[in-house]
Amino acid sequence: MKNSYCSKCKIELSHTETVCPLCGTRTISESEDSLGAYPSNVEEVPLSRKHTALKGLVVLLFPALCCFAIDILVDGNISWGPYIWGAEACFFMFAFLPKLFKRPKIGLCLLADTAVTIGYLYVIGVKSGSIDWVLLLGLPLACLAALLVFSVLKTIQMKKTSQMFKIAAVICALGIYAFAIEVVIGIFKYGAFTLGWALPAVPPILFISAVLFFIEFNSPLKDRLIRAVFL
């Protein structure tokens, strides 16, 4: 018979003993010990969120430096490089900024995303020779997009709320956002409140949202629809 021993106390035990009488640790036989005390399929420890963000920054710095070098060698000055740098800054803020925090706050991340987006639009305006559209069109649209994403994410994260209510709220937010876009574009383009494509698009969206809300708050109707769908 193979002897066994306690992995904690290191005392020799009888081959009939499966638990150490001193500390209660499960015994290990010599045959088991020869195979190793640790499993061979140890999972790889995932990289930390901050480490991932820093790696993303390093990866983005390489094409940025290449663009800078090409810009200087070809034109002798910085011409098209800012377009690439601005796009990379936006990508970093969108994809890697939340990874710098253990528990990222949606509001702060969206505020930073909006700021870098407006900054990028301003750079494009400066390079194109006109920045009027940045304040009158780019800024309102970027803020509206941030508000839409914030409202959708907050709706999805709502606890003790049915899926139908969340879907109805998201559809309603999309309808309001489409209407706001039409208003902003109309004021920028014509200098007045005008509606074009929003008229046939927004009312059906809001109607669908209203129907879902009505079904959600009408329990008998909701139960009948559920039975009709799943039967």
State the residue for tokens 């005392």. Answer: 11
> Are residue 53 and residue 69 in the same domain, yes or no?
yes
* Angle at 98 (CA atoms; ends 160, 50), nearest 5 degrees: 125
Strand partners, 183: none
* 187 is a domain residue: yes
State the pLDDT confidence band at 18, using cuts at 50, 70 and 90.
Answer: confident
> Are residue 70 and residue 86 in the same domain, yes or no?
yes
Q: 105: which 2 tokens? A: 């706050």
Question: What are the distances in angstroms from CA 27 to CA 36, 88, 217?
Answer: 14, 57, 61
* 40 is a domain residue: no
End-to-end C-alpha distance for the chain, whole angstroms: 63
pLDDT digits (tens, 9 = 90+) for 24-40: 777 655 554 444 444 44
pLDDT digits (tens, 9 = 90+) for 172-207: 999 999 999 999 988 888 888 777 888 888 899 999
> Are residue 169 and residue 190 in the same domain, yes or no?
yes
* 170 is a domain residue: yes
Last residue of a domain, one of 90, 121, 150: 150
Q: In the predicted model, what is the mean pLDDT of the chain? A: 80
pLDDT at 208 over 90: yes
State the pLDDT confidence band at 3, using cuts at 50, 70 and 90.
Answer: low
Q: Residue 22: phi, psi to the nearest 5? A: -90, -50
> Are residue 144 and residue 175 in the same domain, yes or no?
no
Q: For residue 134, what is the DSSP state?
A: I
Number of domains in the chain: 3
pLDDT digits (tens, 9 = 90+) for 104-115: 788 888 898 999
pLDDT at 117 over 50: yes
Q: 65: which 2 tokens? A: 């430096």
> Are residue 224 and residue 207 in the same domain, yes or no?
yes
State the pLDDT confidence band at 82, using cuts at 50, 70 and 90.
Answer: confident
- Amino acid at the residue 24: G
Question: b/e string for 142-159 if b means 16 or more Cβ within 10 A?
Answer: bbbbbbbbbbbeebeeee
Which residue did the predictor score with more confidence, 17 or 175?
175
Last residue of a domain, one of 134, 150, 166: 150
Strands 27-29 and 12-13: unpaired
* 55 is a domain residue: yes
* 212 is a domain residue: yes
SS3 203: helix
Angle between the 49-75 and 81-95 helix axes, to the nearest 10 degrees? 170
Which residue did the predictor score with more confidence, 153 or 42?
153
* 64 is a domain residue: yes
% of the chain beyond a pLDDT of 90: 21
Which residues constitute the domain of residue 11? 4-35
* pLDDT of 47: 53
Strand partners, 68: none
